[in-house]
A and B are shown apart, each in its own frame.
Chain A
Amino acid sequence: MKILVPIKRVVDHNVKVRVKSDGSGVDLDNVKMSINPFDEIAIEEAVRLKEAGTASEVVVVSVGSQGCQDIIRTALAVGADRGIHVLAEDGIEPLAIAKTLKAVVEQELPKLLLLGKQAIDDDSNQTGQMLAALLKWPQGTFASEVRVEDEQLTVTREVDAGLEVLTMPMPAVVTCDLRLNEPRYASLPNIMKAKRKPIDCIEIDSLGIDTTPRFKAVTYTVPEQRKGGVMVSSVDELIEKLKNEAKVL
Protein backbone atom coordinates (compact mmCIF):
# COMPACT_ATOMS: atom_id res chain seq x y z
CA MET A 1 0.00 0.00 0.00
CA LYS A 2 1.26 3.42 -0.92
CA ILE A 3 0.66 6.36 1.39
CA LEU A 4 0.76 9.93 0.16
CA VAL A 5 1.41 12.66 2.72
CA PRO A 6 0.81 16.27 1.65
CA ILE A 7 2.88 18.67 3.75
CA LYS A 8 3.04 22.44 4.07
CA ARG A 9 5.85 24.85 4.83
CA VAL A 10 4.69 27.35 7.43
CA VAL A 11 6.07 29.85 9.92
CA ASP A 12 7.53 27.92 12.83
CA HIS A 13 4.98 27.41 15.58
CA ASN A 14 7.09 29.26 18.15
CA VAL A 15 7.24 32.46 16.12
CA LYS A 16 4.80 35.17 17.02
CA VAL A 17 4.10 36.84 13.71
CA ARG A 18 3.67 40.56 13.22
CA VAL A 19 1.22 42.33 11.01
CA LYS A 20 2.92 44.81 8.65
CA SER A 21 2.31 48.39 9.69
CA ASP A 22 0.55 49.21 6.41
CA GLY A 23 -1.88 46.34 6.89
CA SER A 24 -0.85 44.68 3.62
CA GLY A 25 0.11 41.38 5.15
CA VAL A 26 2.01 39.52 7.79
CA ASP A 27 5.75 40.06 7.99
CA LEU A 28 7.43 36.82 6.98
CA ASP A 29 10.89 38.20 6.16
CA ASN A 30 13.67 36.30 7.92
CA VAL A 31 11.19 34.29 9.92
CA LYS A 32 11.99 30.66 10.67
CA MET A 33 9.97 28.28 8.51
CA SER A 34 9.21 24.65 9.35
CA ILE A 35 6.93 21.76 8.50
CA ASN A 36 3.42 22.43 9.75
CA PRO A 37 3.29 20.56 13.12
CA PHE A 38 0.20 18.54 12.18
CA ASP A 39 1.93 17.42 8.99
CA GLU A 40 4.84 16.08 11.06
CA ILE A 41 2.29 13.91 12.82
CA ALA A 42 0.97 12.72 9.44
CA ILE A 43 4.49 11.84 8.27
CA GLU A 44 5.19 10.00 11.52
CA GLU A 45 2.01 7.96 11.19
CA ALA A 46 2.84 7.04 7.61
CA VAL A 47 6.35 5.97 8.58
CA ARG A 48 4.99 3.90 11.46
CA LEU A 49 2.56 2.15 9.10
CA LYS A 50 5.52 1.38 6.86
CA GLU A 51 7.57 0.07 9.76
CA ALA A 52 4.64 -2.13 10.75
CA GLY A 53 4.61 -3.62 7.26
CA THR A 54 1.24 -2.11 6.42
CA ALA A 55 2.55 0.43 3.94
CA SER A 56 5.07 -0.28 1.22
CA GLU A 57 5.95 3.25 0.25
CA VAL A 58 5.56 6.71 1.78
CA VAL A 59 5.56 9.65 -0.63
CA VAL A 60 5.45 13.24 0.58
CA VAL A 61 4.20 16.08 -1.58
CA SER A 62 4.38 19.80 -1.02
CA VAL A 63 2.96 22.63 -3.11
CA GLY A 64 4.74 25.96 -2.98
CA SER A 65 7.95 27.85 -3.57
CA GLN A 66 11.50 26.50 -3.72
CA GLY A 67 11.70 26.48 0.08
CA CYS A 68 9.36 23.48 0.16
CA GLN A 69 12.33 21.33 -0.85
CA ASP A 70 13.72 21.84 2.66
CA ILE A 71 10.67 20.42 4.38
CA ILE A 72 10.46 17.57 1.88
CA ARG A 73 14.09 16.71 2.79
CA THR A 74 13.16 16.79 6.46
CA ALA A 75 10.30 14.38 5.79
CA LEU A 76 12.65 12.10 3.86
CA ALA A 77 15.04 12.18 6.81
CA VAL A 78 12.40 10.83 9.18
CA GLY A 79 11.53 7.96 6.87
CA ALA A 80 9.54 9.00 3.80
CA ASP A 81 10.80 7.27 0.64
CA ARG A 82 10.56 10.01 -1.93
CA GLY A 83 9.20 13.48 -2.44
CA ILE A 84 7.19 15.41 -4.97
CA HIS A 85 7.52 19.16 -5.14
CA VAL A 86 4.83 20.99 -7.03
CA LEU A 87 6.53 24.27 -7.74
CA ALA A 88 4.10 27.13 -7.32
CA GLU A 89 3.81 30.46 -5.64
CA ASP A 90 3.14 30.35 -1.91
CA GLY A 91 -0.26 31.14 -0.47
CA ILE A 92 -2.45 29.15 -2.84
CA GLU A 93 -5.90 28.65 -1.33
CA PRO A 94 -7.03 25.29 0.09
CA LEU A 95 -9.47 24.57 -2.78
CA ALA A 96 -6.75 25.02 -5.40
CA ILE A 97 -4.31 23.01 -3.27
CA ALA A 98 -6.90 20.23 -3.05
CA LYS A 99 -7.29 20.27 -6.83
CA THR A 100 -3.51 20.16 -7.26
CA LEU A 101 -3.22 17.26 -4.82
CA LYS A 102 -6.02 15.45 -6.64
CA ALA A 103 -3.93 15.58 -9.81
CA VAL A 104 -0.97 14.13 -7.91
CA VAL A 105 -3.18 11.42 -6.41
CA GLU A 106 -4.37 10.45 -9.88
CA GLN A 107 -0.75 9.95 -10.93
CA GLU A 108 0.43 8.20 -7.79
CA LEU A 109 -2.66 6.15 -6.93
CA PRO A 110 -2.09 5.89 -3.17
CA LYS A 111 -4.43 3.88 -0.96
CA LEU A 112 -4.25 6.29 1.91
CA LEU A 113 -3.80 10.04 2.19
CA LEU A 114 -2.55 11.37 5.51
CA LEU A 115 -2.73 15.12 6.07
CA GLY A 116 -2.48 17.40 9.05
CA LYS A 117 -5.83 18.59 10.34
CA GLN A 118 -4.96 22.24 9.77
CA ALA A 119 -2.04 24.48 8.89
CA ILE A 120 -1.03 26.81 11.68
CA ASP A 121 -0.66 29.80 9.36
CA ASP A 122 -4.07 30.16 7.69
CA ASP A 123 -5.83 27.96 10.30
CA SER A 124 -8.30 26.88 7.60
CA ASN A 125 -8.78 23.19 8.37
CA GLN A 126 -10.13 22.52 4.87
CA THR A 127 -7.69 20.85 2.51
CA GLY A 128 -8.16 17.23 3.57
CA GLN A 129 -11.94 17.44 3.50
CA MET A 130 -11.94 19.23 0.14
CA LEU A 131 -9.57 16.68 -1.33
CA ALA A 132 -11.77 13.84 -0.09
CA ALA A 133 -14.79 15.49 -1.70
CA LEU A 134 -13.02 15.98 -5.05
CA LEU A 135 -11.81 12.37 -5.05
CA LYS A 136 -15.18 11.13 -3.73
CA TRP A 137 -13.26 9.26 -1.04
CA PRO A 138 -14.35 8.80 2.57
CA GLN A 139 -12.75 11.01 5.19
CA GLY A 140 -11.59 10.45 8.74
CA THR A 141 -10.83 13.89 10.14
CA PHE A 142 -9.11 14.84 13.41
CA ALA A 143 -7.75 11.32 13.87
CA SER A 144 -6.22 10.31 17.18
CA GLU A 145 -5.91 6.64 16.21
CA VAL A 146 -5.66 4.94 12.82
CA ARG A 147 -5.86 1.19 12.22
CA VAL A 148 -5.64 -0.57 8.86
CA GLU A 149 -7.01 -4.09 8.48
CA ASP A 150 -7.81 -5.80 5.18
CA GLU A 151 -8.51 -2.73 3.08
CA GLN A 152 -10.60 -1.37 5.93
CA LEU A 153 -9.67 1.69 7.88
CA THR A 154 -10.73 2.36 11.46
CA VAL A 155 -10.29 5.92 12.60
CA THR A 156 -10.82 7.30 16.09
CA ARG A 157 -11.74 10.95 15.80
CA GLU A 158 -11.40 13.75 18.33
CA VAL A 159 -14.80 15.45 18.30
CA ASP A 160 -16.24 18.13 20.56
CA ALA A 161 -18.18 15.63 22.63
CA GLY A 162 -15.27 13.22 23.13
CA LEU A 163 -14.17 10.50 20.75
CA GLU A 164 -15.90 8.91 17.78
CA VAL A 165 -14.91 5.75 15.92
CA LEU A 166 -15.61 5.32 12.20
CA THR A 167 -14.69 2.60 9.75
CA MET A 168 -14.30 3.21 6.05
CA PRO A 169 -13.06 1.44 2.96
CA MET A 170 -9.83 2.54 1.33
CA PRO A 171 -8.75 4.57 -0.51
CA ALA A 172 -9.49 7.20 2.08
CA VAL A 173 -8.37 10.56 3.41
CA VAL A 174 -7.30 10.91 7.04
CA THR A 175 -6.42 14.20 8.73
CA CYS A 176 -4.24 13.93 11.82
CA ASP A 177 -4.87 15.48 15.21
CA LEU A 178 -2.29 16.27 17.86
CA ARG A 179 -2.70 13.12 19.85
CA LEU A 180 -2.22 10.64 17.02
CA ASN A 181 1.46 10.21 17.79
CA GLU A 182 4.70 11.83 18.91
CA PRO A 183 6.78 12.69 15.83
CA ARG A 184 10.40 11.56 15.91
CA TYR A 185 13.46 13.64 15.22
CA ALA A 186 15.66 12.95 12.23
CA SER A 187 19.06 11.48 13.12
CA LEU A 188 22.18 12.86 11.47
CA PRO A 189 22.87 9.72 9.41
CA ASN A 190 19.27 9.77 8.18
CA ILE A 191 19.57 13.44 7.26
CA MET A 192 22.61 12.51 5.16
CA LYS A 193 20.80 9.56 3.60
CA ALA A 194 17.80 11.75 2.81
CA LYS A 195 19.97 13.82 0.51
CA ARG A 196 20.15 10.87 -1.87
CA LYS A 197 16.41 10.21 -1.91
CA PRO A 198 14.62 11.48 -5.02
CA ILE A 199 12.43 14.57 -5.20
CA ASP A 200 10.43 14.99 -8.39
CA CYS A 201 9.66 18.54 -9.32
CA ILE A 202 6.46 19.41 -11.17
CA GLU A 203 5.52 22.86 -12.37
CA ILE A 204 1.99 23.59 -11.21
CA ASP A 205 1.12 25.03 -14.64
CA SER A 206 1.72 21.61 -16.20
CA LEU A 207 -1.20 20.21 -14.18
CA GLY A 208 -3.78 22.47 -15.79
CA ILE A 209 -5.32 23.56 -12.50
CA ASP A 210 -7.14 26.84 -12.16
CA THR A 211 -5.58 28.45 -9.12
CA THR A 212 -7.27 31.82 -9.46
CA PRO A 213 -7.83 33.07 -5.90
CA ARG A 214 -11.43 33.06 -4.74
CA PHE A 215 -10.61 35.40 -1.89
CA LYS A 216 -8.95 38.74 -1.58
CA ALA A 217 -7.49 39.77 1.73
CA VAL A 218 -8.50 43.41 1.94
CA THR A 219 -6.48 44.28 5.00
CA TYR A 220 -4.67 42.64 7.87
CA THR A 221 -4.99 44.06 11.34
CA VAL A 222 -3.61 43.41 14.77
CA PRO A 223 -6.23 42.00 17.14
CA GLU A 224 -7.23 44.33 19.90
CA GLN A 225 -4.59 44.12 22.57
CA ARG A 226 -5.69 43.50 26.11
CA LYS A 227 -5.07 46.26 28.56
CA GLY A 228 -2.30 45.56 31.00
CA GLY A 229 -3.67 43.87 34.06
CA VAL A 230 -2.72 44.15 37.67
CA MET A 231 -0.92 41.73 39.90
CA VAL A 232 -2.65 41.06 43.19
CA SER A 233 -0.79 39.95 46.26
CA SER A 234 -3.34 37.77 48.00
CA VAL A 235 -6.40 35.61 47.51
CA ASP A 236 -8.44 38.17 49.47
CA GLU A 237 -7.40 40.96 47.14
CA LEU A 238 -8.20 38.80 44.11
CA ILE A 239 -11.70 38.02 45.37
CA GLU A 240 -12.27 41.66 46.27
CA LYS A 241 -11.25 42.79 42.76
CA LEU A 242 -13.39 40.16 41.05
CA LYS A 243 -16.39 41.14 43.15
CA ASN A 244 -16.15 44.91 43.16
CA GLU A 245 -14.01 45.93 40.20
CA ALA A 246 -14.67 43.32 37.53
CA LYS A 247 -18.05 42.37 38.98
CA VAL A 248 -17.81 38.82 37.75
CA LEU A 249 -18.39 37.06 41.06
Chain B
Amino acid sequence: MDNIQRATLVIAEHDNQSVSVDTLRTVNAASQIQHEGTSLPVTVLLVGYQSGAVLEQIKCAHGVSNIIAIDAKEYQHALAENLAELIAEIGKNYSHILTPSTTFGKNLMPRVAALLDVGQLSDVIAIESLDTVVRPIYAGNALARVRSNDTIKVMTIRSSAFDAVAVSDAPIVEHVTMAEKIIAAAHSMFVSQQKVESERPELPAASVVVSGGRGLGSKENFALVEQLADKLGGAIGASRAAVDAGFVSNDLQVGQTGKIVAPQLYIAVGISGAIQHLAGMKDSKVIVAINNDPDAPIFQVADYGLVGDLFEIMPELLDKI
Protein backbone atom coordinates (compact mmCIF):
# COMPACT_ATOMS: atom_id res chain seq x y z
CA MET B 1 0.00 0.00 0.00
CA ASP B 2 3.17 2.11 0.16
CA ASN B 3 2.98 3.66 -3.26
CA ILE B 4 -0.73 4.14 -3.29
CA GLN B 5 -1.90 7.61 -2.43
CA ARG B 6 -5.35 8.22 -1.08
CA ALA B 7 -6.79 9.67 -4.24
CA THR B 8 -9.47 8.88 -6.76
CA LEU B 9 -9.11 8.45 -10.49
CA VAL B 10 -12.26 8.91 -12.57
CA ILE B 11 -12.14 7.58 -16.10
CA ALA B 12 -14.05 9.99 -18.33
CA GLU B 13 -16.57 8.65 -20.80
CA HIS B 14 -16.98 10.76 -23.90
CA ASP B 15 -17.36 10.55 -27.66
CA ASN B 16 -14.36 12.80 -28.41
CA GLN B 17 -16.84 15.71 -28.69
CA SER B 18 -18.48 15.99 -25.31
CA VAL B 19 -18.20 14.47 -21.89
CA SER B 20 -21.10 12.21 -20.86
CA VAL B 21 -23.47 13.26 -18.09
CA ASP B 22 -22.66 9.89 -16.51
CA THR B 23 -19.08 11.06 -16.06
CA LEU B 24 -20.21 14.23 -14.26
CA ARG B 25 -22.34 12.06 -12.00
CA THR B 26 -19.39 9.76 -11.37
CA VAL B 27 -17.27 12.74 -10.33
CA ASN B 28 -19.97 13.50 -7.76
CA ALA B 29 -19.83 9.90 -6.53
CA ALA B 30 -16.05 10.21 -6.33
CA SER B 31 -16.34 13.33 -4.18
CA GLN B 32 -18.28 11.24 -1.65
CA ILE B 33 -15.25 9.10 -0.93
CA GLN B 34 -14.06 10.78 2.21
CA HIS B 35 -11.31 10.33 4.73
CA GLU B 36 -11.76 12.09 8.08
CA GLY B 37 -14.41 14.36 6.66
CA THR B 38 -12.51 15.48 3.60
CA SER B 39 -13.07 14.25 0.06
CA LEU B 40 -10.14 12.49 -1.54
CA PRO B 41 -8.71 14.51 -4.43
CA VAL B 42 -10.32 13.56 -7.72
CA THR B 43 -8.25 13.23 -10.86
CA VAL B 44 -10.09 12.78 -14.14
CA LEU B 45 -8.34 10.72 -16.78
CA LEU B 46 -9.36 11.71 -20.28
CA VAL B 47 -8.19 9.33 -22.96
CA GLY B 48 -9.28 10.02 -26.50
CA TYR B 49 -8.42 11.34 -29.90
CA GLN B 50 -8.89 14.96 -30.88
CA SER B 51 -10.82 15.33 -27.68
CA GLY B 52 -9.77 18.91 -26.88
CA ALA B 53 -13.38 20.02 -26.55
CA VAL B 54 -13.96 17.36 -23.92
CA LEU B 55 -10.94 18.57 -21.99
CA GLU B 56 -12.34 22.10 -21.96
CA GLN B 57 -15.64 20.80 -20.56
CA ILE B 58 -13.97 18.78 -17.81
CA LYS B 59 -11.91 21.83 -16.84
CA CYS B 60 -15.22 23.50 -15.96
CA ALA B 61 -16.48 20.69 -13.71
CA HIS B 62 -16.66 21.22 -9.97
CA GLY B 63 -15.09 18.63 -7.73
CA VAL B 64 -12.18 17.87 -10.04
CA SER B 65 -8.67 18.51 -8.66
CA ASN B 66 -6.56 17.32 -11.56
CA ILE B 67 -6.93 16.22 -15.14
CA ILE B 68 -4.65 13.88 -17.00
CA ALA B 69 -5.30 14.07 -20.73
CA ILE B 70 -3.91 11.62 -23.26
CA ASP B 71 -4.72 12.19 -26.89
CA ALA B 72 -3.73 9.67 -29.55
CA LYS B 73 -5.32 8.07 -32.57
CA GLU B 74 -4.99 4.65 -30.93
CA TYR B 75 -7.60 5.70 -28.40
CA GLN B 76 -10.21 7.01 -30.83
CA HIS B 77 -12.69 4.19 -30.35
CA ALA B 78 -12.04 3.43 -26.68
CA LEU B 79 -11.15 -0.21 -27.30
CA ALA B 80 -10.99 -2.09 -24.02
CA GLU B 81 -7.71 -3.86 -24.67
CA ASN B 82 -5.39 -0.86 -24.98
CA LEU B 83 -7.40 1.43 -22.71
CA ALA B 84 -7.41 -1.10 -19.87
CA GLU B 85 -3.63 -1.49 -19.98
CA LEU B 86 -3.19 2.26 -19.96
CA ILE B 87 -5.60 2.79 -17.07
CA ALA B 88 -4.05 -0.04 -15.04
CA GLU B 89 -0.64 1.58 -15.54
CA ILE B 90 -1.83 5.00 -14.41
CA GLY B 91 -4.38 3.75 -11.89
CA LYS B 92 -2.02 1.61 -9.86
CA ASN B 93 -1.04 4.73 -7.92
CA TYR B 94 -4.60 5.53 -6.84
CA SER B 95 -6.67 4.09 -4.01
CA HIS B 96 -9.93 4.34 -5.97
CA ILE B 97 -10.69 4.06 -9.67
CA LEU B 98 -14.21 4.92 -10.83
CA THR B 99 -16.06 5.02 -14.09
CA PRO B 100 -19.74 5.17 -15.01
CA SER B 101 -21.59 1.88 -15.19
CA THR B 102 -22.42 2.40 -18.83
CA THR B 103 -21.53 -0.02 -21.62
CA PHE B 104 -18.23 1.91 -21.82
CA GLY B 105 -17.43 1.34 -18.15
CA LYS B 106 -18.78 -2.19 -17.99
CA ASN B 107 -16.68 -3.21 -20.96
CA LEU B 108 -13.51 -1.61 -19.69
CA MET B 109 -13.27 -1.70 -15.91
CA PRO B 110 -13.31 -5.45 -15.18
CA ARG B 111 -10.36 -5.69 -17.53
CA VAL B 112 -8.59 -2.96 -15.55
CA ALA B 113 -9.42 -4.69 -12.26
CA ALA B 114 -8.07 -8.04 -13.44
CA LEU B 115 -4.84 -6.43 -14.63
CA LEU B 116 -4.46 -4.89 -11.17
CA ASP B 117 -5.43 -8.22 -9.56
CA VAL B 118 -8.31 -6.66 -7.63
CA GLY B 119 -12.04 -7.28 -7.57
CA GLN B 120 -14.59 -4.86 -8.95
CA LEU B 121 -17.63 -3.32 -7.31
CA SER B 122 -20.20 -3.02 -10.09
CA ASP B 123 -23.05 -0.54 -10.27
CA VAL B 124 -22.42 1.21 -6.96
CA ILE B 125 -25.39 3.28 -5.74
CA ALA B 126 -23.93 4.66 -2.51
CA ILE B 127 -20.46 5.17 -1.08
CA GLU B 128 -20.36 4.90 2.70
CA SER B 129 -16.66 5.02 3.51
CA LEU B 130 -13.23 4.48 2.01
CA ASP B 131 -13.89 0.78 1.66
CA THR B 132 -17.65 0.23 1.90
CA VAL B 133 -20.28 0.72 -0.78
CA VAL B 134 -23.86 -0.32 -1.51
CA ARG B 135 -24.82 -2.11 -4.70
CA PRO B 136 -28.01 -3.74 -5.91
CA ILE B 137 -28.13 -7.47 -6.67
CA TYR B 138 -30.85 -9.79 -8.00
CA ALA B 139 -32.26 -7.19 -10.38
CA GLY B 140 -32.46 -4.65 -7.59
CA ASN B 141 -34.49 -6.87 -5.26
CA ALA B 142 -31.77 -6.74 -2.64
CA LEU B 143 -29.09 -4.25 -1.70
CA ALA B 144 -25.71 -5.53 -0.59
CA ARG B 145 -23.50 -3.40 1.62
CA VAL B 146 -20.05 -4.57 0.62
CA ARG B 147 -16.63 -3.96 2.11
CA SER B 148 -13.59 -4.30 -0.11
CA ASN B 149 -10.29 -5.65 1.21
CA ASP B 150 -8.42 -4.78 -1.97
CA THR B 151 -5.73 -2.09 -1.89
CA ILE B 152 -7.26 -0.47 -4.95
CA LYS B 153 -11.01 -0.10 -5.10
CA VAL B 154 -12.20 -0.41 -8.66
CA MET B 155 -15.85 0.43 -9.14
CA THR B 156 -18.44 1.34 -11.70
CA ILE B 157 -21.03 3.91 -10.66
CA ARG B 158 -24.73 3.70 -11.34
CA SER B 159 -25.19 7.23 -12.50
CA SER B 160 -28.94 7.39 -11.84
CA ALA B 161 -28.09 7.27 -8.13
CA PHE B 162 -25.98 10.45 -8.18
CA ASP B 163 -26.57 14.00 -9.39
CA ALA B 164 -24.12 15.51 -11.84
CA VAL B 165 -21.57 17.94 -10.43
CA ALA B 166 -22.09 21.56 -11.34
CA VAL B 167 -20.33 22.90 -14.41
CA SER B 168 -18.99 26.47 -14.50
CA ASP B 169 -19.02 28.81 -17.44
CA ALA B 170 -15.25 29.17 -17.27
CA PRO B 171 -12.42 26.72 -16.57
CA ILE B 172 -11.77 26.12 -12.87
CA VAL B 173 -9.44 23.11 -12.85
CA GLU B 174 -5.86 24.30 -12.65
CA HIS B 175 -3.82 21.14 -12.73
CA VAL B 176 -3.90 19.65 -16.20
CA THR B 177 -1.26 17.20 -17.33
CA MET B 178 -0.97 16.36 -20.98
CA ALA B 179 0.53 12.90 -21.00
CA GLU B 180 1.82 10.83 -23.87
CA LYS B 181 1.54 7.14 -23.57
CA ILE B 182 0.43 5.01 -26.43
CA ILE B 183 -0.62 1.44 -26.10
CA ALA B 184 -1.63 0.23 -29.53
CA ALA B 185 -4.54 -2.12 -29.85
CA ALA B 186 -2.89 -5.44 -30.43
CA HIS B 187 -6.27 -7.02 -30.54
CA SER B 188 -9.56 -5.54 -31.62
CA MET B 189 -10.16 -3.35 -34.62
CA PHE B 190 -13.01 -0.90 -34.85
CA VAL B 191 -15.11 -1.43 -37.97
CA SER B 192 -18.19 0.73 -37.67
CA GLN B 193 -20.80 2.18 -35.43
CA GLN B 194 -24.49 2.61 -36.00
CA LYS B 195 -25.33 5.48 -33.77
CA VAL B 196 -28.98 6.15 -33.24
CA GLU B 197 -29.42 9.84 -33.93
CA SER B 198 -32.09 11.53 -31.91
CA GLU B 199 -33.18 15.05 -31.15
CA ARG B 200 -34.61 13.87 -27.86
CA PRO B 201 -32.73 14.05 -24.57
CA GLU B 202 -30.60 11.04 -23.75
CA LEU B 203 -32.19 8.48 -21.47
CA PRO B 204 -29.86 8.83 -18.46
CA ALA B 205 -30.10 12.63 -18.53
CA ALA B 206 -33.83 13.04 -19.18
CA SER B 207 -36.12 14.34 -16.47
CA VAL B 208 -39.11 12.77 -18.19
CA VAL B 209 -39.12 9.32 -19.77
CA VAL B 210 -42.06 7.85 -21.66
CA SER B 211 -41.65 4.13 -22.26
CA GLY B 212 -43.65 1.76 -24.40
CA GLY B 213 -44.07 -1.98 -24.22
CA ARG B 214 -45.63 -4.87 -26.04
CA GLY B 215 -49.05 -3.32 -25.56
CA LEU B 216 -48.32 -0.79 -28.30
CA GLY B 217 -48.66 -3.64 -30.78
CA SER B 218 -46.58 -2.24 -33.61
CA LYS B 219 -43.75 0.03 -34.57
CA GLU B 220 -46.26 2.49 -36.05
CA ASN B 221 -48.20 2.70 -32.82
CA PHE B 222 -45.01 3.47 -30.94
CA ALA B 223 -45.42 6.96 -32.41
CA LEU B 224 -47.92 7.58 -29.61
CA VAL B 225 -45.09 7.19 -27.09
CA GLU B 226 -42.81 9.40 -29.15
CA GLN B 227 -45.42 12.14 -29.45
CA LEU B 228 -46.03 12.17 -25.72
CA ALA B 229 -42.29 12.25 -25.01
CA ASP B 230 -41.86 15.16 -27.40
CA LYS B 231 -44.73 17.04 -25.86
CA LEU B 232 -43.14 16.65 -22.42
CA GLY B 233 -39.60 17.29 -23.64
CA GLY B 234 -38.67 13.80 -22.51
CA ALA B 235 -36.80 10.77 -23.72
CA ILE B 236 -38.34 7.58 -24.99
CA GLY B 237 -37.68 4.21 -23.49
CA ALA B 238 -38.92 0.69 -24.07
CA SER B 239 -39.38 -2.67 -22.48
CA ARG B 240 -37.47 -5.68 -23.74
CA ALA B 241 -40.61 -6.96 -25.43
CA ALA B 242 -40.91 -3.77 -27.47
CA VAL B 243 -37.26 -3.96 -28.51
CA ASP B 244 -37.45 -7.66 -29.38
CA ALA B 245 -40.58 -7.01 -31.43
CA GLY B 246 -38.63 -4.42 -33.41
CA PHE B 247 -40.69 -1.38 -32.36
CA VAL B 248 -37.52 0.52 -31.37
CA SER B 249 -33.76 -0.01 -31.28
CA ASN B 250 -32.02 -1.80 -28.43
CA ASP B 251 -30.34 1.31 -27.04
CA LEU B 252 -33.73 2.42 -25.69
CA GLN B 253 -34.29 -0.63 -23.51
CA VAL B 254 -34.87 0.19 -19.87
CA GLY B 255 -34.21 -2.55 -17.35
CA GLN B 256 -31.77 -4.85 -15.59
CA THR B 257 -29.83 -5.43 -18.78
CA GLY B 258 -30.56 -2.17 -20.52
CA LYS B 259 -30.40 1.35 -19.17
CA ILE B 260 -31.17 2.29 -15.58
CA VAL B 261 -33.06 5.55 -15.28
CA ALA B 262 -34.44 7.61 -12.43
CA PRO B 263 -36.23 10.60 -13.96
CA GLN B 264 -38.68 12.93 -12.25
CA LEU B 265 -41.51 11.37 -14.23
CA TYR B 266 -41.63 7.92 -15.80
CA ILE B 267 -44.68 7.03 -17.85
CA ALA B 268 -45.03 3.34 -18.68
CA VAL B 269 -47.41 2.68 -21.54
CA GLY B 270 -48.46 -0.89 -22.31
CA ILE B 271 -45.73 -2.32 -20.08
CA SER B 272 -46.70 -5.13 -17.70
CA GLY B 273 -43.79 -4.49 -15.32
CA ALA B 274 -41.65 -7.63 -15.24
CA ILE B 275 -38.97 -7.81 -12.51
CA GLN B 276 -36.31 -7.12 -15.12
CA HIS B 277 -38.01 -3.93 -16.34
CA LEU B 278 -38.73 -2.61 -12.85
CA ALA B 279 -35.01 -2.97 -12.07
CA GLY B 280 -34.37 -0.19 -14.54
CA MET B 281 -36.93 2.42 -13.48
CA LYS B 282 -38.28 1.88 -9.99
CA ASP B 283 -36.16 4.68 -8.55
CA SER B 284 -38.02 7.22 -10.67
CA LYS B 285 -39.58 9.99 -8.61
CA VAL B 286 -43.08 9.65 -9.99
CA ILE B 287 -44.25 6.62 -11.97
CA VAL B 288 -47.38 6.62 -14.10
CA ALA B 289 -48.70 3.39 -15.56
CA ILE B 290 -51.21 3.09 -18.37
CA ASN B 291 -52.31 -0.47 -18.99
CA ASN B 292 -55.47 -2.38 -19.83
CA ASP B 293 -54.71 -5.13 -17.32
CA PRO B 294 -55.60 -4.03 -13.77
CA ASP B 295 -53.49 -6.89 -12.39
CA ALA B 296 -50.31 -5.88 -14.23
CA PRO B 297 -47.39 -5.75 -11.76
CA ILE B 298 -46.49 -2.25 -12.98
CA PHE B 299 -49.42 -0.91 -10.92
CA GLN B 300 -47.69 -2.08 -7.74
CA VAL B 301 -44.90 0.46 -8.24
CA ALA B 302 -46.90 3.17 -9.98
CA ASP B 303 -47.84 6.35 -8.12
CA TYR B 304 -50.68 6.91 -10.55
CA GLY B 305 -52.31 4.11 -12.47
CA LEU B 306 -54.86 4.36 -15.22
CA VAL B 307 -56.53 1.17 -16.40
CA GLY B 308 -57.82 1.30 -19.92
CA ASP B 309 -57.17 1.03 -23.62
CA LEU B 310 -54.00 2.94 -24.36
CA PHE B 311 -55.25 3.67 -27.87
CA GLU B 312 -58.04 5.72 -26.32
CA ILE B 313 -56.05 7.13 -23.42
CA MET B 314 -52.94 8.24 -25.31
CA PRO B 315 -54.67 10.47 -27.89
CA GLU B 316 -56.70 12.08 -25.13
CA LEU B 317 -53.57 12.61 -23.04
CA LEU B 318 -51.75 14.11 -26.03
CA ASP B 319 -54.68 16.40 -26.61
CA LYS B 320 -55.00 17.62 -23.04
CA ILE B 321 -51.42 17.93 -21.81
Contact = CB atoms under 8 A, between A and B. Distances in A.
10 contacts: A130-B111, A142-B103, A161-B251, A214-B148, A218-B145, A229-B287, A229-B303, A230-B305, A238-B288, A248-B285
Interface stretch (A71-79, A133-141, A189-197): A133-141
Contacts of A215: 119, 121, 146-149
- CB-based closest 8 A-B pairs: A138-B187, A129-B110, A214-B119, A133-B114, A126-B110, A130-B114, A165-B191, A229-B303
A163 B257 contact: no
Given A16-B275, A165-B192, A218-B146, A123 B256 contact: yes
A154 B108 CA distance: 19
Interface stretch (A48-56, A103-111, A201-209, A220-228): A220-228
Interface of B: 15, 79-81, 84, 102-104, 106-115, 117-123, 132, 136-150, 187-196, 208, 232, 240, 243-244, 249-251, 256-257, 259, 264-265, 275-276, 282, 285-288, 294, 299-307, 313, 316-317, 320-321
A95 B300 CA distance: 37
Contacts, number: 249
B303 A94 contact: no
Given A220-B145, A232-B306, A98 B114 contact: yes
B146 A216 contact: yes
B111 A214 contact: no
Given A123-B136, A223-B136, A238-B288, A161 B195 contact: yes
A238 B138 CA distance: 33
Contacts of B190: 164-166
Contact of B147 (A121, A133, A218): A218
A26 B228 CA distance: 40
Given A160-B103, A217-B145, A220-B143, A166 B191 contact: yes
Given A26-B138, A164-B190, 5 more contacts: A17-B141, A159-B103, A220-B145, A230-B304, A246-B265
B190 to A, nearest CB: 6
Interface string A2-30: 00000000010110111100000010000
Nearest to A215: B146
Given A94-B110, A125-B110, A161 B15 contact: yes
Contact of B316 (A123, A127, A230, A235): A235
Contacts of B300: 226
Nearest to B150: A214
B306 A235 contact: yes
Nearest to B321: A239
Contacts of B257: 117-118, 177-178
A129 to B, nearest CB: 4
Given A94-B110, A130-B113, A133-B110, A235 B317 contact: yes
B113 A126 contact: yes
B189 to A, nearest CB: 5
B111 A133 contact: yes
A88 interface: no
A217 B302 CA distance: 31
A133 B193 contact: no
A33 to B, nearest CB: 13
Contacts of A129: 80, 106-111, 114
Contact of A124 (B120, B192, B299): B120
Contact of B188 (A14, A166, A177): A166
Nearest to B249: A162
A248 B232 CA distance: 10
Contacts of A142: 103, 106-107
Contacts of B115: 133
Nearest to B120: A126
Nearest to A182: B244
A241 to B, nearest CB: 6
Contacts of A214: 118-119, 148-150
A230 B307 CA distance: 11
Nearest to A153: B188
A226 B304 CA distance: 12
Contacts of B139: 120, 123
B244 A223 contact: no
A241 B288 CA distance: 11
A121 B137 contact: yes
B303 A246 contact: yes
A186 interface: no
A238 B304 contact: yes
Contacts of A241: 304
A97 to B, nearest CB: 11
B265 A242 contact: yes
Contacts of A34: none
A178 B251 CA distance: 12
Contacts of B150: 214
A217 B144 CA distance: 6
B193 A165 contact: yes
